[in-house]
Amino acid sequence: MRTMLKPIGAAAIVMGLISVSAPASAALSLGAAADFTNFGSGAGVHGLEARGGRSGTAGDWEIGLGTGTSQPGHFNQSQYGWGNAGTWHDFQYTYNSDGSASFTIGGVTTSWGSDLGLGNAIKVSAKRTASITITELDGAAGSWSLVGDTSDPWNINTVFVSSAFADGFTMAGQMALLPGGGSANEILIEAGNVPAVPLPAAVWFLLTALGGLAGSRWLKTGKAA
């Protein structure tokens, strides 16, 4: 685990992550990746996996949604031949209170019908060439970006915490990643739990800059495979 998150007042900056000023949800906070527990058991992601397609398959991107994205029968998958580096694509992700979910990107929707778990936390991860910008999370609008490290095989993670996630959530924004390579280039959006809210509310979407700003203290975040 590495320390990557540098606060500026109440806000934070990750190498490759930029939070931009916007109205904050009073119930939305940041958590530690080490405290996050995913609902999945066994292989695969419980939630959403967007990754580079494998050579010889129908698409350059693969989108998997369900209770275990590496286990046949536990997820639905869509493939996209248009996925390529340097091109951002709008997405809309809806995670419902009945355990169903839908993810739309490039005009194509991948859905899951039931049994997804609901908790108080969402972990967003980016690996290597993958990048994601969130412009809406559960009613809070702004601009938040997470960029993978091309030289590092581990995910860069951030965890959002809110009791309101227990009724589901919506997320919108843009994402991009290199084609090919399977899970070597991927974005994961997982639902789960953390034992407590570790930071004050209103951390979401506070102002930071890429560099040249002095932070008042360091916060901890981590990288996980």
pLDDT in tens, 16-31: 333 333 334 447 888 8
Instruction: Return mean pLDDT, the chain.
Output: 74
Which amino acid, 157? N
Place of tokens 């778990």: 117
CA distances from 89 to 94, 97, 157 (A): 17, 26, 21
Classify strands 75-80 and 61-66 as parallel, antiparallel or unpaired.
Answer: antiparallel
pLDDT tens-digit profile of 56-105?
Answer: 455 678 889 999 998 888 999 887 766 655 678 899 999 999 999 999 99
Radius of gyration over every alpha carbon of the chain, rounded to an integer in angstroms = 16
For the chain, counts of helices (H) and of strands (E)? 0, 18
Q: Which domains does the chain have, with CATH numbers?
A: 7-212 (2.60.120)
Lowest-confidence range among 80-94, 149-163, 202-216? Answer: 202-216
Mean pLDDT on 215-223: 33
How many angstroms separate the CA atoms of 132 and 202, rounded?
21
pLDDT class of 154 with cuts at 50, 70, 90: confident
Taking Cα atoms as reference points, which of 48, 83, 46, 47 lies closest to residue 63? 48
How many angstroms separate the CA atoms of 17 and 144, rounded?
7
- 57 near 79, Cβ under 8 Å? yes
Residue 188 corresponds to which tokens in the numbers above?
């994961």
